Chain A
């Protein structure tokens, strides 16, 4: 089912015209109302009227996560604070979080793109959408909620966690669509099997999974075990939240609502725009947001764009499944982990050198982290039990910092490669 056929299926020419008009408008608003953008535009000597074609977007400055952080809390707002009616933030694990402010219109846009996304998974008025994304400052919960209400489906705002209750409600309410991270969906499937819940007592038809990277293998596994269509959703707080892009039943790439979010792919090193089909860093410009227009946001997510009419009938541009990140931020079972957090934990342990390496694997569809730490005289003992206690202590320190259990492997001093520049802290062996 297509939620908004007029906009989701418009011709290439119509869309380009719409995008250009909206781009010119958002650039003007950003320039006039956000001092940060005015300064950046002046630095490179451009004015909003210089945007004459869509390709002129390439003249505009990039916005990075750091820029947004420096504007904390409300420096990027383009409207008086009175007009902002809701705020969300990113997780803020590496310092200040970034804030996203929404006007009434922005919430309508968010509801609209989320309604499109849910409709791609077949959601209609009769559906029960069990929303197991976290409600709160995180955008996942509210995003799905708004979209479900826009459609008129019944939203079950259960939020994340409490697996037994999730399964109970799923059966009792006859949930038809589940929204959560793919790894949590797998866990739900495992518990359901363990509890001996019969497949017939679960009425799920689709799952909308996002907020972490996942694979085609995982899709197959989830589809088989939950007897559903497992679909990939993409979004980010800085742009709006979930609903920036979503897979249709074609299951071959995610449709970006490109009438609202203008995508580009750049080479992360040269910053040059890459042609369609080339893999690179996704850059997004909000075309319609009022509260917080964002120009050329560097998502650090790696993907490629594909134009054309999809078998589902939509002409919304498609992006490939995200295959990685340009920086070293890790998403482990949906939790964001930065190598710097591991470093922080290690530095709190007396007598330990903060030389470490993080190895991420996914042995059974669940992420595992190994942290290689160099042993030191302080930690070492002639007795096995004391060395194992030291290992356990390091694991506890890391756990309290990142909230996840890791496996610490003690290695010999100097065995972790040293680097003059940026150390290779992360070895990601997961296959996306």
Chain B
């Protein structure tokens, strides 16, 4: 089960992140998960939102470069070693993780991990074969 993620190009300049988020606020779009990859020259803001296409549209209207792509969302028990098991599965299947980010919805319950493998389908298959729970879009948006 694939999940849509939106990525936004951010210039390495004051106020750009705020500008992107305020556009989403004005459009009434709620952010479920967020991560920023930063380099010396630019940043990539990655977001999970319930309305990715709508978010892309409003951000583009605000002159941002936006890309929508697939990622995998996984539910992980919020306890020590929760993420370890997943990475073990991927490692055994020789799947390279491009990036991942995680957050806890409610302490003690479940954590969500968003991960991007080079080949999304291969990533999903390896995880499913390894008995990992992949979350559907609906489940993610409800978190």
Q: Taking beta carbons and an 8 Å cutoff, which residues of A are in contact with B? A: 375-377, 380-384, 387-388, 391, 409-415
Q: Offer 19 A-B interface pairs, CB within 8 angstroms, sorted by A.
A: A375-B42, A376-B65, A377-B66, A380-B9, A380-B65, A380-B67, A381-B7, A381-B67, A382-B67, A382-B116, A391-B41, A411-B11, A412-B10, A412-B11, A412-B64, A412-B65, A413-B63, A413-B64, A413-B65
Interface pair A387/B9, CB less than 8 Å apart: yes
Given contacts A377-B67, A380-B66, A415-B11, 8 further A-B contacts (CB under 8 A): A376-B65, A377-B65, A377-B66, A382-B7, A382-B44, A382-B46, A382-B67, A387-B42
* A410→B16 CA distance, assembly (Å): 14
Interface pair A380/B37, CB less than 8 Å apart: no
Interface pair A384/B7, CB less than 8 Å apart: no
> How many whole Å from A95's CB to the nearest CB in chain B?
34
A377 to chain B: closest residue by CB: B65
Contacts known (A375-B9, A382-B69); A412 close to B44, Cβ less than 8 A? no
- Number of B interface residues at 8 Å Cβ cutoff, please give it: 21
Instruction: Kindly supply a per-residue 1/0 record for chain B positions 27-63, scoring 1 wherever the CB is within 8 Å of any chain A CB and 0 otherwise.
Output: 0000000000101011010100000000000000001
What residues on A are CB-neighbors of B9 within 8 Å? 375, 380, 387, 410, 412
CB of B98 within 8 Å of the partner chain? yes
> How many whole Å from B59's CB to the nearest CB in chain A?
11
Interface of B is mostly: strand
Contacts known (A410-B41, A415-B11); A383 close to B116, Cβ less than 8 A? yes
What residues on B are CB-neighbors of A412 within 8 Å? 9-11, 16, 63-65
Within the complex, which residue of B39, B63, B98 is in contact with A414, where a contact is CB–CB below 8 Å? B63
* A288→B118 CA distance, assembly (Å): 71
* A412→B16 CA distance, assembly (Å): 10
A385 to chain B: closest residue by CB: B98
What residues on A are CB-neighbors of B63 within 8 Å? 412-415
Contacts known (A387-B42, A410-B41, A412-B16); A382 close to B65, Cβ less than 8 A? no
* A384→B12 CA distance, assembly (Å): 14
> How many whole Å from B72's CB to the nearest CB in chain A?
13
Within the complex, which residue of A375, A388, A391 is in contact with B65, where a contact is CB–CB below 8 Å? A375
What residues on A are CB-neighbors of B37 within 8 Å? 384
What residues on B are CB-neighbors of A388 within 8 Å? 39
B19 to chain A: closest residue by CB: A412
Closest 9 CB pairs of A and B: A382-B7, A414-B63, A380-B65, A375-B65, A413-B63, A412-B11, A375-B9, A380-B9, A384-B37
What residues on B are CB-neighbors of A382 within 8 Å? 5, 7, 44, 46, 67, 69, 116
A379 to chain B: closest residue by CB: B65
Contacts known (A375-B9, A415-B11); A384 close to B44, Cβ less than 8 A? yes
> How many whole Å from A255's CB to the nearest CB in chain B?
47
What residues on A are CB-neighbors of B69 within 8 Å? 382
Contacts known (A375-B65, A413-B63, A413-B64); A380 close to B7, Cβ less than 8 A? yes
